[in-house]
């Protein structure tokens, strides 16, 4: 079970990640996209999901990642992601509830280039009972 005290907690994300052209091209090719100048609209998940996993499955938060399925996903794209972008991802556990034994947690991640908010993502994850 998720530690209820972690709801509302923000994890600033200290590691910076650099987006490469190879990553954008590989992601785009898999979905049949032949234009590689900017990242496809869902590319940010590559940056945010692993961080969400690391945060939520940390023992102090306590989510059982092995039973997680993705409930819903939202992206707000303030500008396209391009090769050479250097990002820091800051995540906040925004919401948590238990319904029919399933844990439902929403985590927002702000994808930041310096002070510029480039993409906001919301992932709702369901831990199946």
Q: Looking at residues 51 to 110 of the shown chain, list those that interact with other proteins (rule: CB under 8 A).
A: 66-67, 69-78, 80
- With respect to other proteins, which residue has the nearer C-beta, 5 or 66? 66
Q: By CB under 8 A, which span of 1-9, 32-40, 94-102, 107-115 interacts with other proteins?
A: 32-40
Q: By CB under 8 A, which span of 5-13, 40-48, 94-102, 104-112 interacts with other proteins?
A: 40-48
In Å, how far are 62, 63, 85 from 73, measured between CA atoms? 21, 18, 23
Pair of tokens at residue 48:
């945010």
What is d(CA 17, CA 6) in angstroms, rounded to the nearest whole number? 25
Q: Does 16 bind other proteins (CB under 8 A)?
A: no
- The torsion defined by the Cα of 18, 113, 77 and 105, in degrees rounded to 10, comes to 80
# of chain residues touching other proteins (CB under 8 A): 33
What is d(CA 122, CA 20) in angstroms, rounded to the nearest whole number? 23
Q: Which residues bind other proteins (CB under 8 A)?
A: 23, 26-27, 29-33, 35, 38-42, 45-46, 49-50, 66-67, 69-78, 80, 122, 128
């Amino acid at each position: 079970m998720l530690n209820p005290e972690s709801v509302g907690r923000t994890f600033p994300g200290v590691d910076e990640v650099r987006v490469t052209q190879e990553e954008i091209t590989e992601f785009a090719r898999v979905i049949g996209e032949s234009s590689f100048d900017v990242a496809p609209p869902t590319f940010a998940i590559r940056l945010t999901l692993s961080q969400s996993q690391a945060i939520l499955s940390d023992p102090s938060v306590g989510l059982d990642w092995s039973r997680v399925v993705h409930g819903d996903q939202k992206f707000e794209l303030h500008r396209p992601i391009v090769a050479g972008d250097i990002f820091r991802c800051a995540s906040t556990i925004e919401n948590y509830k238990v319904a029919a034994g399933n844990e439902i947690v929403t985590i927002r991640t702000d994808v930041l280039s310096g002070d510029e908010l480039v993409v906001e993502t919301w992932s709702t994850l369901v831990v199946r009972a």
